[in-house]
Copies of this chain bind each other. A is one copy, B any other.
């Protein structure tokens, strides 16, 4: 029987990945209230915005203002997604603690998504790291490998390609590299195998597991990543950004369900589950009519549930 280590970091991506995937634009004050509620629940890393042109993603037009507010929350790592050097500059100037740049393992997806080859994306990593070194040396740079488990355009993605790319982004200067199941195609055996290989290659620089629940395997894949040594997990409150239980959905893993799984296992998340469930209210209020998902929220906590009572092996 394995010994369960004590803690994992849940990285909330709802205010970025979630909000940019829905049609409606959440008003800035509502966003700030929601982020406050996420922080109050104990979340200590939140991807609060994406630095992209407002004409492309009006949902993210207030990125700098959101970052400014998030920086006032004690103990919070304020994270933002950037698609390129230009976005990185804006994020660094706004004062984020950490930026994340998606680099696709699928050449076809990379070209379709950012109109750059993987090689060109490695140049982008180098340029971003150089800029970071120059203007904000304390900021962490993550390069997340997207389509790491399969691609809806090219189908299979070779595991060797993923492992090599993770090593290349680190060699290009990124501080860490996680793996994203962008397309909801991962399975637990593949997740264990790939994270094990990536960790063998880049060690503790292996970053977050970003899993989707497209085919119902989201939590099983997180469990598999945990088994392979991963300790940071992306998730989205209420599964925001596509129904995690429905067709064609992006379907981020639901933060509440993920926290429940770990806490029930006796693995500490630092997140108070009741407060986390309460953070669904400002989300609903800020996005009227948008569905908010989650199995734990619907079924309720089990009889006799006491947070922190989960028995570690």
Interfacial residues, chain A to chain B (CB-CB below 8 A) = 1-2, 4, 150-153, 155-156, 183-185, 187-190, 192-193, 196, 213-217, 219-220, 222-224, 227, 245-249, 254, 257, 260-261, 264-267, 294-296, 298-300, 302-304, 310-313
Contact = CB atoms under 8 A, between A and B. Distances in A.
Contacts of A2: 192
25 contacts: A1-B192, A1-B193, A1-B196, A152-B302, A155-B302, A156-B304, A184-B299, A184-B302, A187-B264, A187-B310, A189-B266, A189-B310, A190-B264, A190-B265, A190-B311, A193-B313, A216-B257, A216-B295, A216-B296, A217-B257, A217-B260, A219-B220, A220-B220, A246-B299, A247-B298
Contacts of A298: 245-247
Contact of A185 (B219, B254, B302): B302
A219 B216 CA distance: 8
Contacts of A151: 303
Contact of A152 (B264, B266, B303): B303
Contact of A295 (B196, B245, B302, B303): B245
A214 B303 contact: no
A227 B227 CA distance: 11
A187 B261 contact: yes
A128 to B, nearest CB: 31
Nearest to A312: B189
A84 to B, nearest CB: 27
Main secondary structure of the interface of A (DSSP, over half): loop
Contacts of A266: 189
Contacts of A265: 187-190
Contacts of A249: 299
Contacts of A299: 184, 214-215, 246-249
Nearest to A246: B298
A295 B4 contact: no
A26 to B, nearest CB: 25
A223 B190 CA distance: 13
A295 B189 contact: no
Contacts of A247: 298-300
Contacts of A214: 295, 299
Given A265-B189, A312-B189, A215 B257 contact: yes
Q: Which one of A4, A217, A313 has the highest number of Cβ atoms from chain B below 10 Å of its Cβ?
A: A217
Contacts of A312: 189
A170 to B, nearest CB: 22
Given A189-B266, A196-B1, A313-B189, A183 B302 contact: yes
